[in-house]
Amino acid sequence: MDRLLADASKRLEEALKYVEISEDASERLKYPKTSLSVSIPVRMDDGSLRIFQGYRVRYDDTRGPGKGGVRYHPNVTMDEVQSLAFWMTFKCALLNLPFGGAKGGITLNPKELSKQELERLSRGYIEGIADFIGPDMDILAPDVYTNEIIMGWMMDQYSIIQRKISPGVVTGKPQTMGGSQGRNKATGTGAFYVIQAMLAKFDRVPEDTTIAVQGFGNAGSVVAQLLAKAGYKVVAVSDSQGGIYAKMGLDIPSISQYKKENRGIKAVYCEDSVCNIVEHQILTNEDLLKLDVDVLIPAALENQITEKNADDVKARYIFEVANGPINSAADIILNQKGIEIFPDILVNAGGVTVSYFEWVQNRSGLYWTNTEVNERLKEKMVVEAEKVWSIAQQHSVSMRTAAYIHALNRLGEALDAKGTRDYYVNGLSH
């Protein structure tokens, strides 16, 4: 088993002590069902030809078609994609969605390509994996450095290959192509609902709660804005270039606007049309993780907190908006320090939940308003968060272990429905 996937699988070991799951089911969950690697030739704008490596993994589809994003990043490997597909399997089960877990990616730095080159690459990726995906087989979605435009290209290319309009193969599309209201902000919005519900358990008052957000991308910026609007004190944010910190709190809407216009972040304070720079410190992504704040929200990439820096983390609560931002060794250290960790498979599941809503809308041809989407999202996120909280209290385990217990129970039931060793040895009466 590859290194990243092996580390992801360690999370199951503790949860398995608390579930009655057959040997067959636990054995099946150790390995991805199918993994595909494709070479994508792309004609560049200067006439040269470059070959890019692409991947798609369907980890498990017992509960329904595979579901998972496609990321464009220099660090994409088969190992990483398999790990992300593993997490998606548990995330979909945790939220009780009729999906299995899948993931995809292409190894590249998307900032080095023109828009035309990105389109050719995206369509080429679909050419390579078209037989491997479909509305009833495996459904794509946006992820790191992919967006609704790229999803639109992918859905269009798949429709060309199939010779029929197939909106259900991709979620996170532009609304004009069958995308759902609220999908582009769903991950951050879903995380916000979980954060509010869980902080209430500790009687946290918003204005007395300081928050640092690592990763001011699609999910991180949305959750930061919603928290600031709700009265929480967001004191630090960062992106891939670095971060900013202001003890008195940052003006998040203005920073978000600045980032949109300048592709960077700065502590700006706006009043009407006049913007001033707020007194702030520049800090690195690593420094942000060490800040003495109440809540830390890693919303960037995986493995940001490891055994090397876990001792330096001072936050009281961590909400994982990124996938796998804390490795299993760091988990142990943080738990010993008494830090409450709310896991990625719960906190960032808003994206896949609204992707499910989009898929349902595509299949029915009936589309919901933004208010309807957010109401359904809030209900789903809060209901499952409360169930995970109850399991954690019942077994005196961490929220991460409780989340895996909850997901494993659902996965185990689905896997066992296909027949187990006990069934075949002892006959129909069992």
Say how many C-beta atoms besides its own lie within 10 A of residue 51's C-beta.
Answer: 9
Four-CA torsion 375, 381, 385, 387, nearest 10 degrees: 80
Q: Hey, do 33-169 and 186-347 end up sharing a CATH topology, with the first three levels equal? A: yes
Active-site residue numbers? 103
The answer, yes or no, to whether residue 189 has pLDDT greater than 70, is yes
Residues 211-253: pLDDT tens digits? 999 999 889 999 999 999 999 999 999 988 888 898 888 888 8
CA 350 to chain centre: 8
Q: What is the mean pLDDT of residues 182-190?
A: 93
Q: What is d(CA 86, CA 80) in angstroms, rounded to the nearest whole number?
A: 10
Residue of 359, 360, 319 whose CA lies nearest to 339: 319
Residue 112 pLDDT grade (very low, low, confident, very high; cuts 50, 70, 90): very high
Instruction: Give the pLDDT score at 430.
Output: 47
Q: Which CATH superfamily is domain 33-169 in?
A: Leucine Dehydrogenase, chain A, domain 1 (3.40.50.10860)
Q: How confident is the model at residue 316 (pLDDT cuts 50, 70, 90)?
A: very high
Top CATH class, 186-347: alpha beta
**Conformational region of residue 237, where left means phi above 0, alpha means psi within -120 to 50, and beta covers everything else:** beta
- Domain residue ranges of the chain, discontinuous segments joined by +: 33-169, 186-347
* 83-111 pLDDT tens trace: 889 889 999 999 999 999 999 999 999 99
Q: What is the pTM of this model?
A: 0.89
